[in-house]
Structure 1
Amino acid sequence: MPIIIQGPKQPGNDIDVYLRPLVEDLKLLWKKEGVPVWDEDNQEEFNLRALLFVTINDWPALSNLFGQSNKGYKTCTHCMDETESTYLKHCRVYMGHRRFLAANHPVQKKGKHFEHKADHRTKPKHHSGKTDLKVVFGKGPGSQPIESEDGHVAMWKNNSIFWELSYWEFLDVRHAIDVMHLTKNLCVNLLGFLGVYGKSKDTLEAHNDLKHMEQHGDLHPEPKEKGSHYLSPASYTLSKTEKESMFECLESIKVPSGYSMNIKQIISTKEKKFTNLKSHDYHVLMTQLLPVVIRGILPDNVRATITNLCAFMNAISQKVIDPDRLEALQNDVVQCLVSFELIFPPSFFNIMTHLLCHLVKKIGILGPVYLHNIFPFESYMGVLKKYVRNRARPEASIAKGYGTEEVIEFCVEFIEELRPIGVPESRHEGRLRGKRTLGRKAIMTVDNNLFRKVHFTVLQQSSLVAPYIEEHLALVRARNIVFYVKDMSSKGKKGRGPDEPKRNVVLPGKRKIVGVEDKTDENYDQLDGQPPFTVTIDPSILLSNEDTPYSRSDHKEGTIVRRKYVRSTVTADVLP
């Protein structure tokens, strides 16, 4: 299959032309007779059969592969026709998550903050086959747009080539949700509204949307002189003191080697913002660090909601997930989304935020997230990218670089006397083979690797070495297993008590097995990676009982927004 490079000339919706060779091979592999393949281990031939189980791709590529539009009113590939979306003046939002709550949930009946309306709808039906899909393509003869029954442009763009596979319509899940990019977009969205990453998303347009929808009256923009507006502090607005506390905590973090990037390199203490975040940094923030750094800041129910979301992201990132916990995880994430509807303006709810409510369903079918995550593929794309020497011919450069590396690895594997470049030899090398010894030189036939194994076995059984082994294990645990983060909630108020926090939060590091290459025996049944933060309450119920869960009264540090006027000068031609 050819390598498809993204760019101005990428195939887009015509990707089926490039997928044709792959689909033909998949059809051949699914035939009853299969494909004859030689088994070198058993020295026999067998018939190989294979199928395409699921695809993993980012959101734009999903639109091209699935044939469904990823923009518009019906953009959710899971809700489909039942997608609830609202088109505002400045953005399109996807809300209405109360219908995903458990039956008879108290918030479903309450309409105090939801236009005084109850919501007793059921969640959208799970579409598992092509027969129950209402497919109406968006373009007809002459490329004329076709409208669906509700008057909107149809959500289908083309008929995916994968439907030619006989088993494709029977798969419960055909395209996995890209959790890596979902986590990234969710973290950017959340940090943007907190005002600590990039341009603040708590903008005048976001508050004007609230005014247009006649919601959150306390947050409507207040006109000031010279065309400026005052935006009252929302419940998620951080004060100057809270930002200082947050970044003081971040600056003090020292993570173990291999845990993540150095935290000091991704924050700006002067501007109080995150900078240069990578995909793995978003993952670490959402699963481990963010619930710790917001301790002691933000209102209690807002902090509990964000902590509950981070606990959910951490739980689905584990290598072992108890199937009995899936229902509880689904309830947790839906409660978080409903709570966010009470806290954040509508512009917070883009399609990536909405996809959170479908994650647990996918995990129940496909297994833990690490089995269908895009991290390894993105990492390998970085390897292929390094092969590109000629930007005008990236495909040829990748093919040549990949082939060259395979040849080198083959030669290194089969040339015994090859001396690796850059690896120094010990000055004691060869003494066990009779070289550099005094007296009579005798050639010993004992293999050096065998001698090392015997020596290591003797040391393990010796009681004299046991204290040193325990000391080494204690040192490894102290350095690699846990690390400490300041608990800013235990810091005394300014002018009262000590300046340093009284307590620290202990976070687990990555487990490493020193000296062991095969890690298949590692006990993954123990959920050692669970963070020391849990939320046992339902924040959506507490927030719905408040009069104004969306605004803050403990500080008045709002924002003054000034409109930027563009002056245009008009010059007239002077007639002679």
Structure 2
Amino acid sequence: MADLIDDVMWDLRENGTNLNTGTSNTMGSSVDDDFAQLLEEMETKLYPGCIFSSLEFLAKLMHIKVNNKWTDSSFDQLLELLQLAFPKCNKVPLSHYLTKKKMKSIGLGYESIHVCKNDCCLFRKEHDSLQVCPVCKESQWIDKNTKARSSLSVWSGQGYRACATCNEDTLSYRATNKFVYIGHLRFLDANDPLRKMSDFNRREETRPASRHFSNNDIQEQLSRLLTRKPGKHPEHGGEEPKQQDYEKHVDESLLGTLLTNDKSNDTSTTREDLRILNIQRNEWLQKNGDKFHRPHVRYSFTKSSRQLFCQFIKDVKLSDGFGFNISKKVNDTNTNIIGLKSRDHHILMQRLIPIGVRGLLDNDTYTHIVDLCTFFKQFYSRTLKVEYMRKAKLDIIAILCKLELIYPPAFFDIMVHLLSDLPDEAIVGGLVCIRWMNTFERYMRKLKNYVRNKARPEGSIAEGYVAEGNSNLNIPKVMKRENFVTGFVKSMYFQNIPRVIIDVESAIEVPPPTGRVNDVSDCETDYDETNSD
């Protein structure tokens, strides 16, 4: 609310207008007259006897337009009908264009700013008249993406050294058609009995764990980088961003392999990788005449088991507000689950898969899958302890080692390998629930629902966002002149909140009359696992 008043009053401050005395310079007089006209219109009813003022009625009407995705032409027709239905002295505007113009005149609009598609600059201020980017020479274009990690840190998320934590010691292997990251035995203790097992690659694991690179080591590596310009331009080393949702990616790979759908890692190519690495002989491709066939593996459902699992998912009833109706994601033949969102993967990984696969897989495979799901449940819990995360670090490494005995190398892409780094990130960054992308994804879904014209999605989102904000304002109270004279912001939504004084230089918060803030030493810095999710 303070920002709204600050924006509206900006021109008055720039020109030295004083509302208390009514004095101003020549230009400020014009601005003051326009604003006084708006104040007068704000106090004018839509028509005699109406409970709404003109601006308040338009704000609510624009909100309805956005929520129901009305077109501009249909909105114009509605305004024409309202003009005829209301008394002749009504203040209903003639068109949608005039409505937006009036709302923008009180600071309730938006400004479109073009940006270079490589994120080099904004075409505003001194660059407003340019048609090409002064940095990369690309023409104007509106880009909706953000910078990728490789564009910021020059560390690619693909290839032999995709893991930034392992750095030069990344355990990578070039399979038939992708990079895989196997050999997690090296992270175990030197005396761990699993290191001596030859079931992995027919030899003992003697390699040490990846080195811990200090800050000085990282700085030394950065000093060798060439000077480059920021942005996503190909010549600068930039690339398209890839959102890192570990749980969703692992669940897609795990569930796809169980159901043998298009996300499965059990293909003829992955079976050939087993032959090349000379591991898991019983799962190699078998030749039958002129054709090859894949023998059934223990990490995939049989046809009957797949139908039982899908039927289990279809019969699940979730609590209100906990998740969407996941039963609708199962196809008609009970053979596949499609159209899953991030929240669906979250529920499947932590709640449903550990129960649904029971009795449908052998005991070893089932146990390791449940251990993996338990790790995610612990990692995403609402309370954490540092010692628990240190133990989870050892647990996830052991889980990945045991899964290497079951799943083909193609299952272990970079996202699966990075699970071993998640406990360290939780120790440094804190709770995952305050750092994950779920909140932003839900809000992005809300913004996408504003889109009516798919050729201009940015404009639809901007109009919808502004219209919703306008509908939540108590415009009659905000626009009263006495609010500007006293300098206080009054709102129906902040009755018991400390008032904010609008000052030219800064906003000064007036402390509340009662209450106190606990000392920092009173705050508990450790996390507790009790009542964990």
TM-score (norm 2): 0.59
Residue-by-residue CA offset, 1:518-561 (whole Å, 9 max, x unaligned)? xxxxxx9564455xxxxxxxxxxxxxxxxxxxxxxxxxxxxxxx
Match of 2:38 in 1: none
Deviations 1:500-531 (A, max 9, x none): xxxxxxxxxxxxxxxxxxxxxxxx9564455x
In structure 2, the partner of 1:131 is 219
Distance 2:113 2:372 in 1: 36
Alpha-carbon distance, 1:413 to partner: 8.6
Match of 2:469 in 1: 406
Root mean square deviation of aligned Cα: 3.7
Please tell me whether the aligned partners of residues 286 and 294 of structure 2 are also in contact (alpha carbons under 8 angstroms): yes
Given candidates 160, 180, 195, the residue that maps to 1:93 is 180
Any conservation in 2 of the 1:196–1:272 contact (CA below 8 Å)? no
Distance 1:138 1:116, change over 3 A: farther
The one of 315, 320, 333 equivalent to 1:270 is: 333
Residue correspondences, number: 351
Q: 1:16 to 1:96 in 2, by over 3 A?
A: farther
* Alignment partners' CA distance in 1, 2:236 and 2:404: 31
Residue 395 of structure 2 is matched in structure 1 by 332
Which of 258, 265, 284 in structure 2 is aligned with 1:194? 258
1:284 positional shift: 0.5
> Whose RCO is larger (CA < 8 A, sep 6+)?
1
Q: For the residues of structure 2 that align with 1:366 and 1:241, how far apart are their CA atoms?
A: 44
Structure 1 residue aligned with 2:267, among 203, 206, 214? Answer: 203
Picking from 191, 194, 197, the partner of 1:110 is 197
Matched with 1:239 is 302
Q: Residue 315 of structure 1: SS of its match in structure 2?
A: helix
CA contact (8 A) 2:350 2:374 kept: yes
- Runs ≥4 in structure 1, deviation > 6 angstroms? 2-5, 18-21, 57-60
C-alpha separation in 2, matches of 1:19 and 1:105: 60
SS at match of 2:474: helix
Please name the residue that 2:312 is paired with.
249
Contact 2:113 2:124 in 1 (8 A): no
> What is the one-letter code of the residue matched to 2:276?
H
- Kindly provide the CA deviation profile for residues 104-141 of structure 1, in whole angstroms up to 9, marking residues without a partner as x: 2221233342231323412342454641435665999x
Q: Does 1:69 align with 2:156?
A: yes
| d(CA) in 2 for partners of 1:4, 1:364 | 40
Could you tell me how far apart the structure 1 residues matched to 2:393 and 2:146 are?
Answer: 22
More strand by share: 1
CA distance in 1, matches of 2:476, 2:362: 61
How far did residue 77 of structure 1 move? 2.4
Pair 1:4–1:282, CA change in 2 (3 A): farther
1:400/1:217 Cα in 2 relative to 1: closer, same or farther (>3 Å)?
Answer: same
2:318 aligned with 1:260, yes or no?
A: no
The CA distance in 2 between the partners of 1:359 and 1:248, in whole Å, is 33
Cα distance in 2 for residues equivalent to 1:19 and 1:367: 38
Partner amino acid, structure 1, of 2:429 = L
Structure 1 contact 302–343 (Cα < 8 Å) conserved: yes
Between the aligned partners of 2:341 and 2:284, the Cα distance in structure 1 is 35
Query: C-alpha displacement at 1:247, in angstroms?
Result: 2.8
Unaligned runs of 5+ in 2: 1-110, 126-143, 229-234, 480-526
Q: Within 2, Cα distance between the matches of 1:337 and 1:307?
A: 12
Q: Residue 131 of structure 1 aligns to a residue in which SS?
A: helix
Q: Deviations over 1:335-370 (max 9, x none)?
A: 111111111111111111111011001000000111
Looking at structure 1, the residues matched to 226 and 301 of structure 2 have their Cα atoms a distance apart, in angstroms, of 44
TM-score (norm 1): 0.54
Q: Percent identity?
A: 27
Residue 300 of structure 1 aligns with an amino acid whose one-letter code is: N
Letter in 1 for 2:391: A
1:120 & 1:525 partners in 2: Cα distance? Answer: 36
1:348 is aligned to 411
Distance, in Å, in 2 between the alignment partners of 1:292 and 1:58 is 38
Distance in 2 (CA, whole Å) between partners of 1:126 and 1:262 is 46
In structure 1, distance between residues paired with 2:201 and 2:476: 67
CA distance in 2, matches of 1:82, 1:215: 23
Task: Tell me, in whole angstroms, the C-alpha distance in 1 between the residues paired with 2:363 and 2:456.
Answer: 56
The 8 Å contact of residues 196 and 274 in structure 1, kept in 2 or not, is answered as no
> Alpha-carbon deviation of 1:64?
2.5
Report deviation, 1:286.
0.7
Query: Structure 1 residue 382 and structure 2 residue 453: aligned?
Result: no
